[in-house]
């Protein structure tokens, strides 16, 4: 979760890139959890947070 009003962002631990999901499930809206996800990039809309690259999640799983 960010302090800049962007909502939740996800950090890719492989690339250190931040992504901004537009359809994150409520069960995954927790700070500092690890998830596996399959996603696709989307074109950013005007005025959206610049802290991450916007994506649509196709599949997500919490890693225990």
Residues 27-56 have pLDDT tens digits of 999 999 999 999 999 986 665 678 888 899
Does the pLDDT value for residue 5 go beyond 90?
A: no
CA–CA separation, 60 and 19 (whole Å) = 14
Query: Taking the CB of residue 20, how many other CB atoms lie within 10 A of it?
Result: 21
Report the percent of the chain where pLDDT is more than 90: 59
pTM (two decimals): 0.79
Residue 36: DSSP 8-state: E
């Amino acid at each position: 979760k960010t302090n800049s009003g962007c909502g939740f962002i996800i950090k890719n631990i492989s690339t250190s890139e931040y992504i901004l999901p537009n359809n994150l499930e409520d069960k995954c809206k927790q700070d500092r959890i690890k998830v596996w996800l399959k996603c696709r990039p989307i074109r950013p809309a005007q005025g959206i947070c610049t802290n991450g690259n916007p994506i649509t999640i196709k599949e997500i799983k919490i890693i225990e």
